[in-house]
Amino acid sequence: MNKVKFYFPDSHDYVDPTFDFENETNNEHRVIQRDDKYAHEIFSRPVYDGILVSKAVVDGISGVKGKYSVAQRQRFFREGIYRFFRLPKSYSTIGDCGAFSYANEEVPPYSIHDVVEFYVNAGFTNGISLDHIIFDFAKSITESQKKFSPEQLTEFKRRKEITLDLAHEFYNESQSQSYEAYGVAHGWNPESYADSVSDLQSMGYKRIALGGMIPLKTQDILSILEKTAEIKKADTQFHLLGINRLNHIQEFSSLGVSSFDSTAPLMQGLKDDKFNYHTHADDYTSISVPQVEANNSMRKLVSSGTVDHDEAKRLEKACLKALISFAKGEVEQKSVLDTLCEYEKLYNTKKSRREAMEKALTDQPWKNCNCDICKDIGIHVILKRGAARNRRRGFHNLYIAYQKLQHQLSLMK
């Protein structure tokens, strides 16, 4: 079976295992991150093959702090990535620089020396060269000339050259290091991507990350891969940065893709308004029970006097109680829906979501899910309410995405 590895880009994504869903309390003595659990600690089987960690997330950029506290950052380097994440050695790790976070700068804010030091000190198994994103795409050279101004094309070329120069330096610096080095290819049409790949292969790279593709349609990604296939060496492997198109994994793999990374399954669980609970067959909308005191929009509605605090609090509690009782088989579905809709009237001025709530409560998809989260917390996984539930729903989506990936891979010869 051809293996295509899925890397999960971590951005401090963990949950508190002591959270009590009925009483909504957690262990007050818990130390954040240290006592929390990552997805690879929650599930009894893998939901990714490795994690991707960006230098920008750990170290910050140009004086702006990253996501790590000073103490966490120090511990990350002291313990190394495997111990810090409590990650078994069977997982891969890949480091990158987080090019999106400095895309608007004239040049990348780090030196190759900084980047190599970051990968070595943290003990990554793979490291991606420092790059600079190109933000536009045309389907061909002819279309590029019509679509882009001469100034735009000059800027695209400048960024491509910066990325290739840095890749050259990175390759040389990485030869004596223990991680596997990836060069990055950027472009603004299939031909310029293929040029970058060709140059990186000439430098000696066998592993190449293709960047700047997140906004592209799948067909455009395929046209880039088809173009690069013309010059790709047999042992060159591609990594797709930030791409999650599970239905096309077989095609990607046949064109040389051996890995990709994406936060999409998690982020859809957290942020997507409609389809944020995934299953193999269907996607569901979570059931909102906003926290009157912790949800930003609820707080605004209360402070502006649009919503009465006590009434909102009463309905919030009633909804939670009704849902928990429903899960135990003690309350009829209609009465739960009525309570949910009564609360919904306070915060949703648009069309009621009764139908979506009804679908979730009728199908109860969490009952058919074998993942450790659904088995553990049941109905709470589909409630849109606070990080404890929302992030777990994102983790559940990671589980489903990884299962879908493994299914796609199993169909390949």
Q: How far is the CB of 374 from Zn ion (least distance, A)?
A: 3
Distances (CA, A) of 258 to 110, 154, 372: 28, 32, 28
Residue from 4, 42, 167, 374 touching Zn ion (CB under 5 A): that is: 374
Sign of the four-CA dihedral 54, 60, 65, 69? positive
Q: Which is nearer to Zn ion, 391 or 396 (CB)?
A: 396
| Using rule CB under 5 A, residue 405 touches Zn ion | no
| Using rule CB under 5 A, residue 128 touches Zn ion | no
Catalytic residue among 10, 131, 199, 261: 261
Q: How far is the CB of 283 from Zn ion (least distance, A)?
A: 13
Residue from 52, 164, 396, 402 touching Zn ion (CB under 5 A): that is: 396
| Using rule CB under 5 A, residue 209 touches Zn ion | no
* Cβ-based burial of 189 (10 A; exposed 0-12, middle 13-18, buried ≥19): buried
The pattern of x and - marking residues 282 through 301 that bind Zn ion according to CB under 5 A reads --------------------
Q: How far is the CB of 323 from Zn ion (least distance, A)?
A: 17
Q: Which of the ranges 42-50, 102-110, 234-242, 395-403 carries the binding residues for Zn ion, by CB under 5 A?
A: 395-403
User: How many other CB atoms sit within 10 Å of the CB of residue 387?
Assistant: 14
Residue from 164, 287, 357, 369 touching Zn ion (CB under 5 A): that is: 369
Q: Which is nearer to Zn ion, 346 or 371 (CB)?
A: 371
Distances (CA, A) of 270 to 53, 264, 276, 317, 382: 20, 10, 7, 22, 11
**Nearest-angstrom CA–CA distance, 109 and 199:** 23
Tokens of 255: 């064109």
| Using rule CB under 5 A, residue 389 touches Zn ion | no
Size of the residue set binding Zn ion (CB under 5 A): 4
Is the Cβ–Cβ distance between 62 and 105 less than 8 Å? yes
Residue from 371, 383, 401, 405 touching Zn ion (CB under 5 A): that is: 371
Query: Could you please report the per-residue DSSP string of 10-62?
Result: -SS-EE-TT-BTTTTB--TTPPTTTSSEEHHHH-SS-S-SEEEEEHHHHH-BT
Q: Which is nearer to Zn ion, 174 or 268 (CB)?
A: 268
User: How many other CB atoms sit within 10 Å of the CB of residue 305?
Assistant: 8
Q: How far is the CB of 373 from Zn ion (least distance, A)?
A: 5
**Nearest-angstrom CA–CA distance, 36 and 18:** 9
Catalytic residue among 13, 36, 96, 131: 96
Query: Could you please report the per-residue DSSP string of 71-104?
Result: HHHHHHHHH-HHHHTT--TTSEEEEE--GGGGTT
Q: Which is nearer to Zn ion, 302 or 360 (CB)?
A: 360
Helix (H, G, I), strand (E, B) or coil at 175: coil
Tokens of 222: 């395929």
Residue 73 CA neighbour count, 13 Å, CB half: 14
**Nearest-angstrom CA–CA distance, 367 and 378:** 7
| Using rule CB under 5 A, residue 42 touches Zn ion | no
Q: Which is nearer to Zn ion, 243 or 374 (CB)?
A: 374
| Using rule CB under 5 A, residue 391 touches Zn ion | no
| Using rule CB under 5 A, residue 392 touches Zn ion | no
Q: Which is nearer to Zn ion, 353 or 396 (CB)?
A: 396
199 catalytic residue (yes or no) = no
Q: Which is nearer to Zn ion, 53 or 369 (CB)?
A: 369
Q: Which of the ranges 26-34, 123-131, 227-235, 367-375 carries the binding residues for Zn ion, by CB under 5 A?
A: 367-375
261 catalytic residue (yes or no) = yes
Give the catalytic positions in this structure.
Answer: 96, 261
Binding residues (CB under 5 A) for Zn ion: these are 369, 371, 374, 396
